[in-house]
Amino acid sequence: MLGAGDCGLGIVAQSQMDPRMRVRPNPTEVERAAKLLVEAKMPLMIVGDEIYKTKAADKAIQLAEMLGMAVTQFRQIHANFPETHPLWVGYVPGGSTNALAFPKNVDVVINVGNKLQHAGVNPIVPRGPKFIDLRIDYNSMGNIIATEVPLVADVAYGLDDLIAAIAGLMTNDLREKAAERSDEIRRFSQQARIPRAQIVNNPEWDNSPLIADRLTWEVAQFADKDAIVIQEAGASAMHSFDFNPLGGRELFFYYGGHLGSGIGTSAGVKLARPKQQVICLVGDGSFIFGPTALWNMARLQLPVIVIVYNNHAYSGPHSRIVSNVPGGRMVQTGQFYTEYLGRPDMNMASIAKGFGVDGEVVDSARQLRAALGRARAASVEGKPYLIDAQVARRGVGWTDKPWLPAVTV
């Protein structure tokens, strides 16, 4: 039988548990990629999570600035490039880089560490532009996207080698062209930020229940400058946070195609990063799939701030039904079988209290700001806190009292 003195507890350094393959790219392929990039008229860089994992965001910035290259990202877990950088042109809004508002005349695309997981039949990088793929995840290289130059490497090492190769090819003429591109991209980025700032002029801005954009904006004003935001409020746009992997706010975006990971992820992130504010944004549908980590937060005294976007509905499935089957019976009759989560409404603050976490329900901006203040005070005391924010349902087919199927037992 083991006694109390027979067991020990230790903390293992992360460097001893990191299985990354630290390999450099093929030098010949690096030279080919460098030549394509310096000769490109409008190159585009896609960034991905391997940049975050290798702490290579500064190198990605250096490459983009050398070439005057626009930067975007296809859906990943993290934000891998500063969103306020003048070369940032926003996230890919659809399934292809063709959906970007700018640039439209791309002739070379380089992917740096993005999985490029396809959700449709069309390739993320369309036929036409030359494609350079730099990442350690080689299994899917060339499977869907025609690849001109494959660079299998740790992206930090790959970026180092590529930057060095490009530096050896740059001439004064090429630097001038890169500067001109930078100015063009900067002008677009500045113009693109103008409509984003107009969000506060929404005529529903002061409504109660809150609109989702107001809730997000208020949380962004509240969040610490280096807060870590876990996002599982899938139907809500993540604006106003200005994520920045270089010491700014960080993003953990749910990515598995399932619901219920947000609360547990938040607890794990707080354990790993105890000195940073951790805010979990979660939809009501996602929350009820996996609230049990609230108990872990209470037991381990993990001061996570959980904010539930509670519109008493599955907005994601609802929107997909409306979009994909607009002529279907549910859309035509307004009788949606699967999406409404009301009557009776679920009280997420009461659920949290059942797990030992204090919380409250809010339905206006004034109440929300006061609740965020109490959440911060709870964090100072080492306690988690949950805010059940009542959010208005928006979109085709919603009414104040949605239809329910008549079911009797």
Judged by average pLDDT, the poorest of 48-57, 330-339, 383-392 is: 330-339
pLDDT score recorded for residue 268:
95
Is the pLDDT at 363 greater than 80, yes or no?
Answer: yes
φ, ψ of residue 233 in degrees (nearest 5): -95, 75
Is the pLDDT at 121 greater than 80, yes or no?
Answer: no
Say how many C-beta atoms besides its own lie within 10 A of residue 24's C-beta: 15
* pLDDT bucket at 156, cuts 50 / 70 / 90: very high
d(CA 34, CA 32): 5
* pLDDT bucket at 20, cuts 50 / 70 / 90: low
Task: Please write the tens of the pLDDT for every residue from 28-42.
Answer: 999 999 999 999 999
pLDDT score recorded for residue 251:
95
| Most confident stretch, 15-29, 110-124, 196-210, 372-386 | 372-386
d(CA 15, CA 13): 5
pLDDT score recorded for residue 326:
82
The better pLDDT of the pair 206, 75 is held by 206
The better pLDDT of the pair 404, 145 is held by 145
Is the pLDDT at 386 greater than 70, yes or no?
Answer: yes
The better pLDDT of the pair 381, 254 is held by 381
Burial class (CB in 10 A: 0-12, 13-18, 19+), 173: exposed
pLDDT-above-90 percentage for the chain: 70
* pLDDT bucket at 339, cuts 50 / 70 / 90: confident
User: CA angle at residue 203 from 197 to 209, to 5 degrees?
Assistant: 105
| Most confident stretch, 169-183, 189-203, 246-260, 301-315 | 169-183
Please, which residues bridge with residue 133 across strands? Answer: 111, 150
pLDDT score recorded for residue 407:
78
- Residue 158 · residue 29 · CB < 8 Å: no
| pLDDT, mean over the chain | 91
Task: Please write the tens of the pLDDT for every residue from 234-251.
Answer: 767 788 999 999 999 999
The reply to whether domains 27-193 and 212-390 share a CATH topology is: yes
The CA–CA distances, whole Å, from 351 to 212, 355, 369 equal: 22, 7, 22
Task: Please write the tens of the pLDDT for every residue from 258-295.
Answer: 788 999 999 999 999 999 999 999 999 899 999 999 99
Is the pLDDT at 385 greater than 80, yes or no?
Answer: yes
- Residue 192 · residue 87 · CB < 8 Å: no
pLDDT score recorded for residue 405:
80
Task: Please write the tens of the pLDDT for every residue from 45-103.
Answer: 999 999 999 999 999 999 999 999 999 999 889 999 999 999 999 999 888 999 999 99
CATH class assigned to 212-390: alpha beta
pLDDT score recorded for residue 62:
98
pLDDT score recorded for residue 319:
73
Is the pLDDT at 5 greater than 80, yes or no?
Answer: no
Is the pLDDT at 404 greater than 90, yes or no?
Answer: no
| Domain coordinates in residue numbering, the chain | 27-193, 212-390
- CATH number of the domain located at residue range(s) 27-193 in this protein: 3.40.50.1220
Location of structure tokens 């990971």: 261
